[in-house]
Structure 1
Amino acid sequence: MKFAKYGLTGVLVAMSMSSFAALDPAQVTDEVIKRGNVQIEVLSQGKGPTVVILPSLARSARDYDQVAEYLMADGLRVLRPEPRGIGKSRGPMENLSIHDFAADVAMVIDQKHAGPVVVVGHAWGNFAARQLAVDRPDLVKGVVLAAASAGKVPPGFNGKPISPEMRKAIDGAADLGLPEAQRLRYLEEAFFAPGNNPGVWLGGWHPEAHEAEGHARNITPVDDYFAAGTAPILDLQGENDAVAPRQFSHVLKNMLGDRVTVIVVPNAGHAMAPEQPKAMADAISEFAKRINE
């Protein structure tokens, strides 16, 4: 059996993803929002206070189908903008900063008359989520950082938040030119908790977005987005996250204080959404409802 190596957890994740893929597509609207030479595809579903989900590096908003279904069932409206270079989202791809990606999200929120929202940034998406809260605080009432690298390290630590070895695994997992076996090893190393099935992320990578988002991360000063304005923050951490490891788990809390609430998701790595969609959605929902009281 293909999933035998990854045990029952991996099989259940794959089965769960298949069951959600069969849901009635009428529950989700798919539209394109335009401004000048930029157009952003956005998936919308549900009614109630709005949650906006921003995806991981070079990946699609469709990674969060299950999470969005749970949030919708819990009385929330969910918007999922696709980054430039993914799906129907188009625009200049050269020399972009995190500010540009945040501005695309702001355009969606403005034109959907959705703000202020709770914005969820998963992995790379956390940079754009925090930047949105800085650049357009009128649109953001709370920020969820899911499997997020803080962007800084604790005082006295001599190194970067993400090591060169881990950066190689992150980029290698997305390199469609590498053998599948090598990419699976990189996915195991960087993205998935032990026992979870990395094969569910072999597909769904977007090289043009990878290059643009990586460039934006490299050229945008961390202090531009680090504090996420003044919004309350939920720091949603994967118990087995190798990219944002436990040794850095208190960086945001220590630097930003009581604005930050930390929740650890068991048996989740950096991918989180395909591993523990219900736990991820429950934490987001509880935070969003508290923020909207």
Structure 2
Amino acid sequence: MFSVRGRTGHLAWYRTDEAAAEVAFLHGFSDSAQCWEPLIGAMPGIRALAIDARGHGESGLPEEPVSYTAHRDDAALVLSSQPSAGAVIVVGHSMGAMAAAYLAAARPDLVRAVVLEDPPTGPPSVQQSPRGERQERAMVMPGWLAEVRALEVPARIARGRAADPDWPEDELEPWAVSKGQVNPDLFELPYRDPRPLTDLLAAITCPVLLIHGDTERGGLISTEYAERCARAAGGEFQAVHIAGAGHSVRRDKRPQYVAELTSFLRQHS
């Protein structure tokens, strides 16, 4: 799907064609930009840009604390380097959704509208240093990721298929490959806690679509929390619950996800 590949600083990025992108995609933790290809392939004609987050895919990893502020600035750096067609719609999943929210709150000149696929909610309150800085803590590689990384790609695919038998087959290989691309040095760096999602939404003035699944299937956003987000939102806000989906909504229920995303893109392109 990605015919144009490039690098801006430490960041690898990919576009579907030479024309300026209309939609930018930010992936979740341990995924990569290539994990968006199955979705983009299901949406013919979309002009897309996808970015490998620092420490993921083919991007480098600066020796500095890991934070959503850094992810925000990375995305802004790449978007600012692209052929300009004005502000874009930014779609993010999980970690990438939180980065998209940070970006939309801080850079309305770059973001026309934003789609948040099951973002983390952030802490209800964040400890700060006496100087007002958010506290840093150590990151730890999740046990499941260490186990998957120890396998060869075919075995990772088999494990993914067994864990999520309802995922489309084309989701499994990019998911499996991306796990081996995560830079283990990421877990040697301090992690800076984020702002609560509701605080970010209060600062976003562009249209927001929040897509979430079921918490009992691993989703991070409950219906009650989505209602809190709606009350906190500073601009146009819509929440869509896709029943039967978990944290990876687009993988669990692709047709329903594509329908919601396509409708939103038509409204705001």
Q: State the TM-score, normalized to the length of structure 2.
A: 0.73
Structure 2 CA distance for partners of 1:29 and 1:234, relative to 1, 3 Å: same
Q: Which of structures 1 and 2 has the larger relative contact order (alpha carbons within 8 angstroms, sep 6+)?
A: 1
Q: Is the CA contact 2:90–2:113 (under 8 Å) kept in the aligned structure 1? A: yes
Cα separation, 1, equivalents of 2:99 and 2:60: 17
Structure 2 CA distance for partners of 1:177 and 1:270, relative to 1, 3 Å: closer
The corresponding residue for 1:128 is: 99
Cα separation, 2, equivalents of 1:114 and 1:152: 36
Cα separation, 1, equivalents of 2:202 and 2:257: 22
State the secondary structure of the residue aligned to 1:263.
Answer: strand
From 58, 78, 94, the equivalent of 1:88 is 58
Write the letter of the residue equivalent to 1:175.
A
State the secondary structure of the residue aligned to 1:273.
Answer: helix
State the secondary structure of the residue aligned to 1:80.
Answer: strand
State the secondary structure of the residue aligned to 1:138.
Answer: coil
From 65, 75, 79, the equivalent of 1:109 is 79
Once the two structures are superposed, what CA deviation does each residue of 1:100-138 show, in whole Å capped at 9, x if it has no partner?
Answer: 111111121111124301101101111110111122110
1:44 maps to 2:18? no
The corresponding residue for 2:129 is: none
| 1:48 Cα deviation from its structure 2 partner | 7.7
Q: Is the CA contact 2:10–2:62 (under 8 Å) kept in the aligned structure 1? A: no
Unaligned runs of 5+ in 2: 125-139
Q: Is the CA contact 2:205–2:234 (under 8 Å) kept in the aligned structure 1? A: no
Unaligned runs of 5+ in 1: 1-26, 154-167
Cα separation, 1, equivalents of 2:5 and 2:247: 29
Q: Is the CA contact 1:84–1:93 (under 8 Å) kept in the aligned structure 2? A: no
Cα separation, 1, equivalents of 2:220 and 2:193: 20
Cα separation, 2, equivalents of 1:152 and 1:267: 26
| 1:149 Cα deviation from its structure 2 partner | 2.5
RMSD over aligned CA atoms reads 3.6
- The alignment of Structure 1 onto Structure 2 pairs a total of residues equal to 239
Cα separation, 2, equivalents of 1:213 and 1:29: 34
The corresponding residue for 2:70 is: 100
Q: Is the CA contact 2:24–2:90 (under 8 Å) kept in the aligned structure 1? A: yes
| 1:173 Cα deviation from its structure 2 partner | 2.7
| 1:39 Cα deviation from its structure 2 partner | 2.5
Structure 2 CA distance for partners of 1:214 and 1:127, relative to 1, 3 Å: farther
| 1:212 Cα deviation from its structure 2 partner | 6.0
State the secondary structure of the residue aligned to 1:28.
Answer: coil
| 1:91 Cα deviation from its structure 2 partner | 4.0
1:148 maps to 2:119? yes
Q: Is the CA contact 1:234–1:262 (under 8 Å) kept in the aligned structure 2? A: yes
From 22, 29, 46, the equivalent of 1:76 is 46
Q: Is the CA contact 2:4–2:16 (under 8 Å) kept in the aligned structure 1? A: no
From 264, 276, 281, the equivalent of 2:258 is 281
Q: Is the CA contact 2:204–2:234 (under 8 Å) kept in the aligned structure 1? A: no
State the secondary structure of the residue aligned to 2:183.
Answer: helix
Write the letter of the residue equivalent to 1:57.
F
The corresponding residue for 1:242 is: 218
From 112, 128, 142, the equivalent of 1:171 is 142
| 1:51 Cα deviation from its structure 2 partner | 0.8
The corresponding residue for 1:63 is: 35
From 209, 222, 229, the equivalent of 2:196 is 222
State the secondary structure of the residue aligned to 2:147.
Answer: coil
